Amino acid sequence: MFIKHTNYEVGVHYISLVESAKSLNMSEPFYGDVEVKCKMDKTYSQILLNCETTALARLTCDRCNEEYEAKIESKFSALYFFDESKITEDDDDVFYISRDTDKLNISKIVRDYSYLAIPMKKLCREDCKGLCPHCGANLNYEECKCNVEVENPVWNKLKQIKFDD
């Protein structure tokens, strides 16, 4: 994914880009197109990008085990200096760009931020009811009857008494 910055004058520009996850080298769980919207602030000495990405992913819900589709959104900033002496080694997302380079390659940074934005806790929906731990029924779709029988302590005691006898 490239921004041909030489097409733009010094000043602020808004740029929209779309590229397939595949061609950005983003495999599982990503699919389809990745959209990137950038504000590009270009001066004579540097280019500052502030971008928002939207990628599509197929995730598996931690509670009910069903696959669901999610929009993975992330934001990043990247700063490109035309002067190499401005770069220090510990600056993340700060890059040197030679005066002869007409394109900014943002594929890697889009990919990295998209993967970082995959949620740790994956839920098909906020109120997913999950699976019944006893019979495995998906409680989003059906109500099983174990709940009443297994979790009622009185009932359990009665059962035990019967077995003991």
Residues in contact with Zn ion by CB under 5 A are 61, 63-64, 124, 128, 132, 134-135, 137, 144, 146
d(CA 154, CA 157): 5
Q: How far is CA 151 from the centre of its chain?
A: 38
Hey, what amino acid is at 76?
A: F
Nearer to Zn ion, 45 or 65 (CB): 65
Taking the complex as a whole, the smallest distance from the CB of residue 64 to Zn ion amounts, in Å, to: 3
Strands (E), the chain: 2-4, 11-20, 30-42, 46-60, 67-81, 94-96, 103-105
Nearer to Zn ion, 18 or 135 (CB): 135
Nearer to Zn ion, 67 or 92 (CB): 67
Hey, what amino acid is at 95?
A: F
Backbone region of residue 27 per phi and psi (left: phi > 0; alpha: psi in -120 to 50; beta: other values): beta
Nearer to Zn ion, 10 or 135 (CB): 135
d(CA 139, CA 61): 13
